[in-house]
Amino acid sequence: MESSLRFRMSSSKFSPPEWNHDDLRRAVDAAGVAMWQWNVDTDGLAMDLRGYELWGVPPAEDLTFELLSEKIHPADRNRVREAFSATRSVTGSYEIDFRTLFGEDVRWISARGQGSDVGILRRAMTGIFIDITDRKQAEEGNELLAGEMSHRVKNLLAIASALTKITMRSSTSIEDMSKQLTQRLMALGRAHDLVRPLPRDQGKAALLGDLLTVLLSPYDDDGAFAGRIRVAVPRMGIGEAAATNLALVLHELATNSVKYGALSVETGTLDISGSLAGEDVQIDWTEHGGPEAVAPRNGDSYGSKLISQTIERQLGGSMQYDWLGTGLIVTILIKAARLAE
């Protein structure tokens, strides 16, 4: 091993180049690195021109780390100050990432150097600053995407659980429950398929009329676009979050109609209409031709509480029930701004 190593070393014609100041400067500039020097006794801080540009401060002889730290984001300032003070006792290299304020923008900077006074000269520690804004934004974007995916999965599981409970109450057998639940989950899947970009004035997920029709298709004997369920609402967009919450409300109302209302008899019909009422969107659920609508004797059921909380807390709206001899009428008011979320 030693002889082989000596052979390679002795036979090698490579010799390291001698780097001059200009070569090093070009390499530093190419890497986007800013150099700094911090006097541990006076707190004086000096940087190269790239460093002053990176921090957005003019070159000054009286610059100190304490003054420069005022440019650090308030949420990171104390942490960075303590970290810099602790670097002298750190053995080996260190790296501190933090945010700085550059006008109205936020930048991410990484400070790197050697701790434990390694390489200290004339009581001054030397290190580098690197702009890592792009990397941090990419990481935040990935974290946001992961969080959004987790949120969506939890939402779908919550909806599936709620639909299962709703279906249990209206089913007469295991086979009936399996059929109803499959239809509702498929309808929910079709509703999520409607999520697509729309013109700016129409929201960002789907058209309200399309969403209502698809969501209610499992309850219509003749399919999604004909039969006993009729939908007539203004052409407007609905956001994905609002679509998810509105799905729970519609499934609960439809389930009650199948059990007790107009959809429980062959001659019953259901009309869903909509209109703009100031800053609100009004959706009217009107049943015809079914049994006389009677208010529950035992107060609000689980389903009633579920949809009331969904409308009030998630969509910033309200619901009103009118129990009439001709059928149930439900008036739903939703904030137009929340409907587009």
Domains in the chain, start-ordered, CATH in brackets?
20-131 (3.30.450.20), 137-339 (3.30.565.10)
pLDDT greater than 60 at residue 323:
yes
Confidence check: pLDDT of 325 > 60: yes
Of 302, 309, 306, 195, nearest to 241 (Cα)?
Answer: 195
Task: With a cut of 90, say whether residue 284 has pLDDT above it.
Answer: yes
| Alpha helix positions (H), 32-173 | 49-55, 65-68, 74-86, 133-170
Residues 246 and 341: their CA atoms lie apart, in Å, by 12
Among 201, 198, 200, 191, which Cα is nearest to 155's?
Answer: 191
What confidence score (pLDDT) does residue 272 get?
92
CA distance 227 to 338: 31
Residue 285 has pLDDT above 80, yes or no: yes
Q: What's the CA gap between 15 and 326, in Å, rounded?
A: 97
Residue written as token pair 């089913």: 171
Q: Report how far apart the first and last C-alpha atoms of the chain are (Å, whole number).
A: 69
The answer on pLDDT for 116 being more than 80 is no
pLDDT band at 159 (very low <50, low <70, confident <90, very high): low
- How confident is the model over 214-263, as pLDDT tens digits? 777 766 654 333 477 888 888 887 877 788 788 778 877 887 787 788 88
- Tell me how far apart the alpha carbons of residues 332 and 208 are, in angstroms, rounded to a whole number: 14
Contacts of 71 (CB under 8 A, 6+ apart): 55, 56, 57, 100, 101, 102
Q: In DSSP terms, which residues pair with 232 in a beta bridge?
A: 273
Contacts of 31 (CB under 8 A, 6+ apart): 130
Least confident of 66-75, 124-133, 293-302: 293-302
| Cα three-residue angle 335-339-341, rounded to 5 degrees | 120
**Average pLDDT along the chain:** 76
Higher pLDDT, 192 or 236: 236
In the sheet where 280-288 sits, what is the strand order?
Answer: 229-232, 269-277, 280-288, 327-335, 318-324
